[in-house]
């Protein structure tokens, strides 16, 4: 049996607990996010790095 966590059980709680955190949600994205939405992910990572 696989355990499934929803975004409410994990990501939203984690983001709420970390001061200054930003949670990026890619609605409808699959587990291959870095391949299927690479332009969006790369843009978000660059924006994070550049501050």
Instruction: Quote the domain boundaries for residue 21.
Output: 11-50
Locate 14 and state its tokens.
């984690």
| Cα–Cα distance measured from residue 45 to residue 39, given in angstroms and rounded to the nearest whole number | 10
Number of domains in the chain: 1
Judge whether 4 lies within some domain.
no
| Cα–Cα distance measured from residue 7 to residue 23, given in angstroms and rounded to the nearest whole number | 11
What pLDDT, on the 0 to 100 scale, is given for residue 10?
86
Judge whether 5 lies within some domain.
no
Q: From residue 22, give the alpha-carbon distance in Å to each of 12, 44, 45, 47.
A: 10, 11, 12, 12
**Three-state DSSP class for residue 36:** helix
What pLDDT, on the 0 to 100 scale, is given for residue 37?
94
**Using one digit for the tens of pLDDT, what is the confidence trace for 1-51?**
555 667 778 888 899 999 989 999 888 888 888 999 999 999 999 999 998
What pLDDT, on the 0 to 100 scale, is given for residue 2?
56
């Amino acid at each position: 049996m696989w355990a499934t966590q929803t975004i409410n059980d994990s990501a939203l709680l984690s983001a709420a607990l970390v001061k200054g955190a930003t949670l990026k949600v890619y609605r409808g994205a699959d587990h291959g996010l870095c391949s299927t939405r690479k332009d969006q992910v790369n843009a978000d990572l660059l924006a994070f790095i550049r501050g």
